[in-house]
Amino acid sequence: MSHLFGHDQPLSAQGGGVKPPSFVGSFDPRVRVVAACLFAVMVVSLQQIEFALGAFVIAIATMLLTDLPLRLTLKRMAAMDGFIIVMLVMLPFTTPGTPMFSMLGADASKEGLLHAVLIGIRANAVVLMMLSLLSGLTPVTLGHTLYRLRCPAALVHLMMFTVRYISVLHDEYHRLRMAMKLRGFKARNTFHTYRSFGYLFGMLLVRSLERAERVLEAMKCRGFSGHFPMIDQLVFRRRDAILGATFFVMIAALILMDRIYVLAY
């Protein structure tokens, strides 16, 4: 998990140098994080499909200014859509309004369908913008950025440790599962299976606590005082201010037009 969002940036096979960042990746990470959060907060308040589509178009345009692979980006968005597809399907049947058709005795309303479409567009716009603006940020860079944005240090440390050690816990889980398989364990719908999985997760928790204690002792031996040193230099430039202002103006214009439309109709 060397990169939280976007794909890794490997060394160039020809020249051996680091791959240059994309246009969006060349901006200050603080501006990108703030712009992504501002975009998400303002887009979810849109109430008209037309202006939500405008936000989605802005997200697509931003993605085109990055080096995100199209197929991987679509797979990640499809994974997100899988979580909300059930809600979007059920919404027309649970929202009162003008009936369009009936299914198994339940009426699907036009208002519910439009609301479901609006939620889907807003969710995809936010996810695509997050992937685009935060593309290429390593967990360390993201942690340093959040720390400089005055986020609580405890939350930043928790995020960085989680990203660092989630793969360790994943490997430990697979070792325990392999040990169960070597002993002839097969998952079935029986009490023995449920009890075995309970033992599995209990042992995983115990080993996680033991690993955490060893890591803490190792960090103390290396002089850890509760704060990570800031080894990168973030410089706020004029172009970063222009990017932030441009995002704010575009989203504010969509919000303003959306509110005017709602009040007018």
User: How far apart are the C-alpha atoms of 210 and 87, rounded to whole Å?
Assistant: 40
* 8 A C-beta contact, residue 75 and residue 154: no
Please give the distance of CA 231 from its chain centroid, rounded to a whole number. Answer: 25
pLDDT of res. 13: 39
pLDDT of res. 102: 76
pLDDT of res. 10: 39
Task: Name the residue ranges covered by the structural domains of the chain.
Answer: 24-137+235-264, 152-221
pLDDT of res. 195: 92
pLDDT of res. 1: 45
Per run of 10 residues, the mean pLDDT along the chain (length 265 residues) is 43 48 80 89 88 91 86 85 80 79 76 86 91 83 83 83 85 91 88 91 91 87 76 77 85 86 77
pLDDT of res. 212: 86
pLDDT of res. 4: 43
pLDDT of res. 230: 66
pLDDT of res. 231: 62
